[in-house]
Amino acid sequence: MELRDLKTFVTVASLLNFNRAGQALHAAQSTVSVRIQALEEELGVRLFDRLGRRVILTASGQRLLDYGRKMLDLEEEARAWVGGEAGARGALTIRVPETLCAMRFSGVVGHFREQFPNVRLRLLPCVFDGLTEDLRRGMTDLAFVLAYEVQSRDMASACLGIEQLVVTAAPQHPLAGRGAIGPEDIREQTLLLASTDCSYRRTFEGILAQAGCLPPIGVECGSVAAVRQFAAAGLGVTVLPEIAVRADVKAGALTILPWSEGPLEAAVLMLWHKDKWINPALAGFMRLCRDHLLREGEQA
């Protein structure tokens, strides 16, 4: 069994798409198909069922996927131990909430580039839906969320710190200038939310829903920057990490609305699949996050 063909299989099985697998492997789709066909003939089983344009794993394919990932991890481990940290190559795919990436990660990335100059980092937005499945499939090596907990038995996590959250709006907004506000005050407002900062927004929506005050209509944006601009334009109320709006508040573009229900905060959780082999580059990145992320937060 050729490792090249096995890598092709694992990539197709992870993406469930031959065309996208070809792009990821820098190979033509026809080449990917030929390699999968050769593997199926060698093993004497069908690895994929093709239902129209959909591709799904067969039972045999699912069993091979578990072994395939272990074999490729073993190959990567061997290369890593022979080459050492300085010789580490490849890529890491990290999913990070937009605010953390923009405000907290520059030091981590800088140190990582010094220690692992030949490893490519892919820092992607963290959309909470489907995140744990991406970690299971190996499409994501490591993820960060702003939440209190992640309920998944096959995920390992480490808490790196706490981010303070604030409810904010434009200075001219009707709620600005009042005393402390609560869920009742939000009921009739337009709620502005970002999809790229993961799950703290779900916590806030849960607080409002539990009080029966979740606004029926809101605006969801693909970036925190858009949410901040919309809030500054007086289009609604939002909840964001305090560090994300600190400059806007200082400039007078936004104001913090004191929250009557007590402090709002979210834990910074680092997540990975408990069975994933932690290669030297990934271990180094995790170590740097533990050492520097909290420190950068304290200095911000």
Question: Nearest-CA neighbor of 141 among 73, 62, 236?
Answer: 73
Write down the pLDDT at residue 252.
97
DSSP code at position 171: T
Tens of pLDDT, residue by residue over 238-289, are 999 999 999 999 999 999 999 998 889 999 999 999 988 888 889 999 999 9
Question: Nearest-CA neighbor of 208 among 239, 229, 179, 232?
Answer: 239
Q: Determine how many CB atoms are found less than 10 A away from the CB of residue 295.
A: 12
Tens of pLDDT, residue by residue over 51-73, are 877 889 999 998 898 788 778 87
**Distances from the Cα of 295 to the Cαs of 102, 189, 245, 292, 298, in angstroms?**
15, 36, 20, 5, 5
Q: Determine how many CB atoms are found less than 10 A away from the CB of residue 1.
A: 14
Tens of pLDDT, residue by residue over 152-193, are 788 999 999 999 999 999 999 999 988 899 999 999 999 999
Tokens 């820092």 belong to 123
Domains, the chain: 3-83 (1.10.10.10), 91-159+267-299 (3.40.190.10), 162-265 (3.40.190.290)
Range from 67-81, 133-147, 286-300 that averages highest in pLDDT: 133-147
Tokens 């490893």 belong to 119
Write down the pLDDT at residue 293.
81
Inform me whether the pLDDT recorded for 87 exceeds 60: no
pTM of the model: 0.73
Number of residues in the chain: 300
Q: Which residues contact 125 (CB under 8 A, 6 or more apart)?
A: 95, 96, 97, 98, 101, 196
Q: Which residues contact 108 (CB under 8 A, 6 or more apart)?
A: 285, 288, 289, 292, 293, 296
